[in-house]
A and B are shown apart, each in its own frame.
Chain A
Amino acid sequence: MIVAEQKPLEEIRRMIAPYQRVLILGCGTCMTVCDAGGELEVSFLHNALQLAQARSGDVAHTFYEHTLKRQCDPEFLGLLDEKTADVDVILSLGCGIGVQAVAERLPDMPVLPGVNTSFMGMTKESGVWDERCAACGDCRLEDTAGICPITRCTKGILNGPCAGPKKGKCEANKDMDCAWILIYQRLERLQQLDKMRRYYPPRNYRPIPRPRRITSKAGTMAGEGNG
């Protein structure tokens, strides 16, 4: 899933300052799971903004709340039309994709990002999310025992560890496991160390000229025509 963090309240207040009627728009999918912009966070943020406004003494904004099942999906965006007739701005708590999808749908409506979209990752434990994939477009997890060196090694290097790890931790961050030590240990366990001994050539960045697009090949089975 996509993981994000809500922006600081002060930044949000600065962004909405020019607008009167503000719709705080949550997203029911990833942003709900990472506690950054689901229904609950929408209502917390609503309260926080209201309180800050009351404290500052000026009644500048009227707030509305709504949460879509998914902001990144046109199927759900249709529901927005009736919700936005009487608002001046949308403060989206969707990820960067959600914000853009809403903006594309509503050409005349300013849309503001309420979260900082951080990475693709997983829930490590309650309240902790870890990055796991950088969408490199050429997945090499087969060769690295299911541990991604591109994401989990700070340098994203492909031929084994740098000289930096100490006690299994990365030179860049003593709290972070060195990805290449993890890869080594798991390959050893799986008796696949030959995979680490292989030479891996430099990455091909051509699959990544931005923005990327994937078109489903209608009428073909999944995986067919990949060659």
Chain B
Amino acid sequence: MANSIFEEKLGSNDFIVTTEVGPPKSVDVSEMVHHIELLKDKVDAINITDHQSSVMRFPSIGGCLVVKELGGEPILQMTCRDRNRLALEAELLLAYSRGITNVLCLTGDSVDVGDHKEAKPVFDLDSVQLLKMIRTLESGTDMGGNELKAVPHFCIGATVHPEADFIEPQLIKFDKKVAAGAQFMQTQGIFDLASLRRFMQYASQFKIKILAGIIVLSSAGMARYMNNNVPGIIVSQAIIDELAAVEKGKGLQKGIEIAARMIKTIREENLCHGVHIMAVGNEKIVPDILEAAELVNA
């Protein structure tokens, strides 16, 4: 039996669409609620980010609870940056008890890229160890070897970076994540489909669902900023040029067009099993992308 609606979907042959919502730096969650309501019936699951880019916000677990309340399917993003193994385990118990059973396991960005640069980085575990730890909980014991009275079951995923400029060590890590039990992978932003094709030639030997990460850019400036400041992200020159060519104010429209075009190609050419759309702060345009990509009833 599947542990979640999303896991069931992963088991089908359907094209899978996920997206993400970033919680606010606020106790007013109305905008997040609005985004979740807007998206919950249009995608298969919604990731809630975990202090993305090491910027302190309303927590992922809190956002996931809201998704649940609104009848959506949440994916709990969990990084190892801020919690040691006790805190991670405890939060997983909380998540499961509230019906939050999809977990994306991440190492987490460095504290240095965020807005609390003086914080103590934890990293008691890394992403591979976090995946393993969840499988351990499911087998009935915590990391201390102590028995759990009732046992949780999760659908777990991780990330992979097909466009890393030094791919081999990333592929080794990918193998380890698969071996550790990852059932799905949401890739880092893809800006060049050739790299996705290459990656899939490698990844298709594994029984794991790959969702291509699509980052929606709103201007050439944003693309350059990401290249300089966001860990790992490398926006291709072709995309930057395309964004730079449009008149002022039309950047986001172009970004939507590019994202939709990529999604359409991925789906039509069956390049991988689905997409994960990251609109970084522009969640409200995700429906437009889905429409432009002809994925409205996904």
Contacts of B159 in A (CB 8 A): 163
A126 within 8 A of B: no
- Are B85 and A202 touching (Cβ within 8 A)? yes
- Are A202 and B125 touching (Cβ within 8 A)? yes
- Are A155 and B121 touching (Cβ within 8 A)? yes
Encode contact with B along A162-174: 1 for CB under 8 Å, 0 otherwise.
Answer: 1111111011110
Q: Return 15 A-B CB contacts under 8 Å, by A number.
A: A154-B110, A154-B121, A155-B126, A156-B123, A162-B107, A162-B231, A163-B231, A166-B165, A166-B231, A168-B166, A171-B109, A172-B110, A172-B112, A184-B166, A202-B133
Residue of B nearest to A166 (CB): B165
A161 within 8 A of B: yes
Shortest distance between the CB of B109 and any CB in chain A (Å): 7
Number of A-B contacts (CB under 8 A): 100
Which residues, 147 to 190 on A, are CB-close (under 8 Å) to B? 154-168, 170-173, 180-181, 184, 188
Beyond A163-B164, A165-B166, A193-B172, whether A157 also contacts B126 by CB under 8 A is: yes
Encode contact with A along B169-212: 1 for CB under 8 Å, 0 otherwise.
Answer: 11011011001100000001000000000000000000000000
Expressed in whole angstroms, the Cα–Cα distance for A48 and B110 within the complex equals 39
- Are B232 and A202 touching (Cβ within 8 A)? no
A201 within 8 A of B: yes
| Interchain CB contact (< 8 A) of B169 among A166, A172, A184 | A184
| Interchain CB contact (< 8 A) of A201 among B113, B129, B161 | B129
Which residues, 184 to 212 on A, are CB-close (under 8 Å) to B? 184, 188, 193, 196-197, 199-203, 205
- Are A197 and B172 touching (Cβ within 8 A)? yes
Contacts of B104 in A (CB 8 A): none
Beyond A154-B112, A162-B231, whether A202 also contacts B124 by CB under 8 A is: yes
Contacts of A160 in B (CB 8 A): 128, 169-170, 172-173, 176
Contacts of B107 in A (CB 8 A): 155, 157, 162
Expressed in whole angstroms, the Cα–Cα distance for A217 and B129 within the complex equals 36
| Interchain CB contact (< 8 A) of A163 among B129, B143, B232 | B232
Contacts of A156 in B (CB 8 A): 123
Encode contact with A along B216-248: 1 for CB under 8 Å, 0 otherwise.
Answer: 000000000000000110100000000000000
B153 within 8 A of A: no
| Interchain CB contact (< 8 A) of A165 among B113, B143, B160, B164 | B164
Contacts of B231 in A (CB 8 A): 162-164, 166, 171
Contacts of A154 in B (CB 8 A): 110, 112, 121
The winner among B108, B111, B125, B160 for most chain A CB atoms within 10 A is B125
> Number of B residues contacting the other chain (C-beta, 8 Å)?
39
- Are A163 and B170 touching (Cβ within 8 A)? yes
Contacts of A171 in B (CB 8 A): 109-110, 112-113, 231-232
Contacts of A193 in B (CB 8 A): 172
Which residues, 102 to 137 on B, are CB-close (under 8 Å) to A? 107-113, 121, 123-129, 132-133
Shortest distance between the CB of B190 and any CB in chain A (Å): 13
Instruction: List 4 tightest A-B contacts by C-beta distance, closest first.
Output: A164-B231, A171-B231, A160-B173, A157-B126
Seen from chain A, the residues whose Cβ lies within 8 Å of a Cβ on chain B are: 154-168, 170-173, 180-181, 184, 188, 193, 196-197, 199-203, 205
Encode contact with A along B77-91: 1 for CB under 8 Å, 0 otherwise.
Answer: 000010001000000
Contacts of A180 in B (CB 8 A): 169
Contacts of B173 in A (CB 8 A): 159-161
If A200-B129, A201-B129 are given as contacts, then 17 extra A-B residue pairs at C-beta distance below 8 Å, sorted by A number, are A154-B110, A155-B121, A156-B123, A157-B107, A159-B127, A162-B107, A163-B160, A163-B232, A164-B110, A166-B231, A172-B111, A172-B112, A188-B168, A193-B172, A199-B132, A203-B124, A205-B124
Beyond A154-B121, A158-B126, whether A196 also contacts B110 by CB under 8 A is: no
- Are B113 and A172 touching (Cβ within 8 A)? yes
Contacts of A166 in B (CB 8 A): 165, 231-232, 234
Expressed in whole angstroms, the Cα–Cα distance for A159 and B133 within the complex equals 14
- Are A159 and B188 touching (Cβ within 8 A)? no
Shortest distance between the CB of A153 and any CB in chain B (Å): 9
Which residues, 250 to 282 on B, are CB-close (under 8 Å) to A? none
- Are B113 and A202 touching (Cβ within 8 A)? no
- Are B165 and A167 touching (Cβ within 8 A)? yes
The winner among B126, B170, B188 for most chain A CB atoms within 10 A is B126
Expressed in whole angstroms, the Cα–Cα distance for A193 and B231 within the complex equals 25
Contacts of A170 in B (CB 8 A): 110
Contacts of A203 in B (CB 8 A): 124
Beyond A155-B123, A159-B129, A199-B180, whether A164 also contacts B232 by CB under 8 A is: yes
